[in-house]
Amino acid sequence: METKKTVLIVDDDDLVLESIDLHLSRTDNFQTIRVRGAAGAISHMKNAPNIDVIVADVILAGTTSGIDLCQLAIERYPAIAIVVITADTEVHRTDIPQRGIFLRKPFGGEQLLGAIEAALKKVGEASL
Protein backbone atom coordinates (compact mmCIF):
# COMPACT_ATOMS: atom_id res chain seq x y z
CA MET A 1 0.00 0.00 0.00
CA GLU A 2 1.44 3.34 -1.07
CA THR A 3 1.25 6.19 1.42
CA LYS A 4 -0.03 9.62 0.53
CA LYS A 5 2.55 12.16 -0.57
CA THR A 6 2.57 15.45 1.31
CA VAL A 7 2.51 18.42 -1.06
CA LEU A 8 3.39 21.93 0.08
CA ILE A 9 1.63 24.41 -2.22
CA VAL A 10 3.07 27.94 -2.13
CA ASP A 11 1.55 30.94 -3.91
CA ASP A 12 0.40 34.45 -3.05
CA ASP A 13 -2.93 33.99 -4.82
CA ASP A 14 -5.65 32.29 -2.78
CA LEU A 15 -7.46 31.19 -5.96
CA VAL A 16 -4.35 29.43 -7.26
CA LEU A 17 -3.82 27.74 -3.89
CA GLU A 18 -7.43 26.60 -3.82
CA SER A 19 -7.36 25.42 -7.43
CA ILE A 20 -4.21 23.33 -6.98
CA ASP A 21 -5.55 21.91 -3.73
CA LEU A 22 -8.81 20.99 -5.48
CA HIS A 23 -6.97 19.23 -8.34
CA LEU A 24 -4.86 17.22 -5.92
CA SER A 25 -7.77 16.34 -3.63
CA ARG A 26 -9.49 14.58 -6.53
CA THR A 27 -7.03 11.73 -6.07
CA ASP A 28 -6.27 9.73 -2.95
CA ASN A 29 -2.53 10.10 -3.51
CA PHE A 30 -1.89 13.47 -1.89
CA GLN A 31 -2.19 15.31 1.39
CA THR A 32 -1.86 19.05 0.83
CA ILE A 33 -0.63 22.00 2.82
CA ARG A 34 -1.48 25.44 1.42
CA VAL A 35 0.77 28.35 2.34
CA ARG A 36 0.68 31.98 1.23
CA GLY A 37 4.11 33.37 0.44
CA ALA A 38 7.70 32.38 1.05
CA ALA A 39 7.86 33.44 4.70
CA GLY A 40 4.97 31.14 5.60
CA ALA A 41 6.50 28.30 3.60
CA ILE A 42 9.91 28.69 5.27
CA SER A 43 8.27 28.69 8.69
CA HIS A 44 6.24 25.62 7.80
CA MET A 45 9.28 23.76 6.44
CA LYS A 46 11.13 24.32 9.72
CA ASN A 47 8.35 22.59 11.63
CA ALA A 48 7.10 19.97 9.16
CA PRO A 49 8.47 16.46 9.68
CA ASN A 50 8.19 15.51 6.02
CA ILE A 51 7.28 17.14 2.75
CA ASP A 52 7.48 15.03 -0.40
CA VAL A 53 6.66 17.66 -3.04
CA ILE A 54 6.74 21.44 -3.22
CA VAL A 55 4.67 23.27 -5.83
CA ALA A 56 5.82 26.88 -5.71
CA ASP A 57 5.12 29.98 -7.76
CA VAL A 58 8.23 31.84 -8.92
CA ILE A 59 6.93 35.28 -8.00
CA LEU A 60 6.22 35.59 -4.28
CA ALA A 61 5.88 38.64 -2.07
CA GLY A 62 9.02 39.63 -0.24
CA THR A 63 12.66 39.03 -1.02
CA THR A 64 12.55 35.24 -1.40
CA SER A 65 11.48 33.97 -4.81
CA GLY A 66 9.87 30.61 -5.42
CA ILE A 67 13.14 29.44 -6.97
CA ASP A 68 15.04 30.43 -3.79
CA LEU A 69 12.37 28.69 -1.75
CA CYS A 70 12.80 25.49 -3.77
CA GLN A 71 16.56 25.58 -3.13
CA LEU A 72 15.88 25.90 0.61
CA ALA A 73 13.41 23.01 0.37
CA ILE A 74 16.07 20.81 -1.27
CA GLU A 75 18.48 21.62 1.58
CA ARG A 76 15.86 20.77 4.21
CA TYR A 77 14.42 17.73 2.40
CA PRO A 78 17.08 16.25 0.06
CA ALA A 79 14.54 13.87 -1.51
CA ILE A 80 11.86 16.50 -2.17
CA ALA A 81 10.25 16.71 -5.60
CA ILE A 82 10.10 20.21 -7.09
CA VAL A 83 7.41 21.74 -9.33
CA VAL A 84 7.89 25.42 -10.16
CA ILE A 85 4.88 27.27 -11.57
CA THR A 86 4.67 30.72 -13.12
CA ALA A 87 2.75 32.93 -15.51
CA ASP A 88 5.83 35.12 -15.98
CA THR A 89 7.00 34.73 -19.58
CA GLU A 90 10.49 35.95 -18.61
CA VAL A 91 11.10 32.82 -16.51
CA HIS A 92 12.42 29.79 -18.36
CA ARG A 93 13.09 26.15 -17.55
CA THR A 94 16.80 26.88 -17.17
CA ASP A 95 16.06 29.25 -14.25
CA ILE A 96 14.77 26.52 -11.92
CA PRO A 97 16.65 23.85 -9.94
CA GLN A 98 18.01 21.14 -12.23
CA ARG A 99 15.75 18.39 -10.92
CA GLY A 100 12.66 20.61 -10.87
CA ILE A 101 9.72 20.44 -13.23
CA PHE A 102 8.59 23.68 -14.83
CA LEU A 103 4.89 24.35 -15.38
CA ARG A 104 3.59 27.49 -17.07
CA LYS A 105 0.29 29.00 -15.85
CA PRO A 106 -2.47 28.52 -16.71
CA PHE A 107 -2.46 24.75 -16.51
CA GLY A 108 -5.05 22.05 -15.95
CA GLY A 109 -5.35 19.29 -13.39
CA GLU A 110 -3.90 16.61 -15.66
CA GLN A 111 -0.86 18.79 -16.42
CA LEU A 112 -0.34 19.40 -12.70
CA LEU A 113 -0.59 15.72 -11.83
CA GLY A 114 1.78 14.88 -14.69
CA ALA A 115 4.30 17.46 -13.47
CA ILE A 116 4.18 16.11 -9.91
CA GLU A 117 4.56 12.55 -11.19
CA ALA A 118 7.56 13.59 -13.33
CA ALA A 119 9.14 15.44 -10.37
CA LEU A 120 8.73 12.40 -8.11
CA LYS A 121 10.25 10.20 -10.81
CA LYS A 122 13.26 12.55 -11.15
CA VAL A 123 13.88 12.35 -7.41
CA GLY A 124 13.60 8.56 -7.53
CA GLU A 125 16.09 8.34 -10.39
CA ALA A 126 18.53 10.65 -8.61
CA SER A 127 18.57 8.42 -5.53
CA LEU A 128 19.49 5.29 -7.49
pLDDT value for 48: 79
Each residue of 75-91: pLDDT tens digit? Answer: 989 999 999 999 988 87
CATH number of the CATH domain containing 108: 3.40.50.2300
The whole-angstrom separation of Cα 99 and Cα 40 is: 23
Residue 66: the pLDDT is 94
Query: What confidence score (pLDDT) does residue 1 get?
Result: 42
Give me the pLDDT at residue 13, please.
95
| Number of domains composing the chain | 1
One-letter identity of residue 50: N
Q: How far apart are CA 127 and CA 78, in angstroms?
A: 10
pLDDT at 92 over 90: no
Domain limits for position 119: 5-126
Q: Which residue has the higher pLDDT, 93 or 19?
A: 19
Residues 8-60: pLDDT tens digits? 999 999 999 999 999 999 888 999 999 999 999 999 998 877 899 999 999 99
pLDDT at 126 over 80: no
Q: Tell me the HSE value of 121 on the side-chain side, using a 13 A CA sphere.
A: 7
